[in-house]
Chain A
């Protein structure tokens, strides 16, 4: 069923009784050309683009919970491409371009709102760093704009400009960045993939990866053995556990990242704003809640909940940046399990096993990458070589000495 203004009107007249489920609930077939492990944003996007762009039709996505039950439904919904390094920026810009056409592509409202992201800075060296980042973006053809203090004061009067330790002296703006409705992204890709014949198999946990003479022949699941020609892992958060089933040793540590939402307010924050003095970022959802978060808790964790010490730290950062936040009540807090890689950048690559492909290490930047990650992973699976914007995201870049370390903190996964 194609969604349109006309279909809404027609269904309304018919009492809304004619809507069909957005996807089927198939039982697994004995064998598929490609099995994708992980029914989150990246796995579903991979399935969609494999079927749509690369003509592979016999595909299954196996998901241990329900579709979109992981980090695609747990992030702070920010979409942007304001990266600095050559290995990253073209990839994220490709992703942003896909975002800009995604609703038409999927015939699904993902509520993309290009409200702009403003990264604040507080001293001269930070301004130099953001100028460098803006220049790096423009070198890749991505617009970036420096905002001075007076402009920011008119745009964002609620900020704490004269903080004694962290005065705000300017900000870097990417106008095309913004937010998207995170669940809708998973649902849109799921519906799109299902319409192209992809089997989306929920509540089906992979318990083993069967290998014969060095190649993968299929996966053991809670719904029995399913055979495949190619196996693709998109199980971020649990990559190491799934990888271990195939004997992979990976440069990944699992960490928890918390996010928060306040009670609904009238429109007050029009952009996505990030704080240069900490790692705080905030935007306002269409329902009015302020959605915000900061850095990871910093210790190894597979639990989808965080520590109160970090929650307190996040609130302190928020109130330092916007003093008025102290009067707002927080409604909910939650955590997601992140694949933290050793350089803070993701991996889309082949593995030492010929027909096993890997998509992981998204740290806490995976949501914005969803369309490009799916596209580039599908390209890799279909053609056996990296898409040109993802060719730096190699699994062996660490041992070869080509890390992509935006933050410049070295091989400390909890510092990225």
Chain B
């Protein structure tokens, strides 16, 4: 993981200020969605090598939930955006 993360609200900050939740791709299904849909959301991960989207929280800064788009092999960070601006991926 890169040592610096550019927070869209606070600017570039050390990685220690951030806390990771996990994969930002799965979208929470509707409460009464089929079991298979819930299983996919809860348990199944694409887990690609390369470009991924991940949820991080800037816990020692603005405390906003962020979507970090980065490479999980080279650790390059491509973009960081506020999770509430994401289509569907927001919580």
Contacts and interface: CB of A to CB of B under 8 A. Distances in A.
Interface of A: 238, 240-241, 249-254, 297-303, 307-309, 342, 398-399, 411-414
B31 to A, nearest CB: 17
Contacts of B42: 342, 398, 411
The size class of the interface chain B forms with chain A is: 20 to 34
Interface string B22-50: 11000000000001100110111111110
Given A241-B49, A302-B73, A303-B73, A398 B43 contact: yes
B43 A251 contact: yes
Given A398-B43, A414-B20, A297 B1 contact: yes
Interface of B: 1, 3, 14-16, 20, 22-23, 35-36, 39-40, 42-49, 52, 54, 72-75
B47 A240 contact: yes
B54 to A, nearest CB: 6
**For the complex of A and B, 7 pairs with smallest distance between CB atoms:** A240-B47, A398-B43, A399-B39, A251-B43, A302-B49, A302-B73, A299-B20
Interface of chain B: mostly helix, strand, loop or mixed: mixed
Contact of A303 (B39, B40, B45, B74): B74
A263 B20 CA distance: 33
14 contacts: A240-B47, A240-B48, A249-B46, A253-B47, A254-B47, A300-B22, A300-B72, A301-B73, A303-B75, A307-B1, A308-B3, A398-B42, A399-B43, A414-B22
A220 B20 CA distance: 37
Contacts of A413: 22, 45
Contact of B47 (A252, A303, A414): A252
Nearest to A339: B47
A297 to B, nearest CB: 7
B45 A250 contact: yes
A307 B15 contact: yes
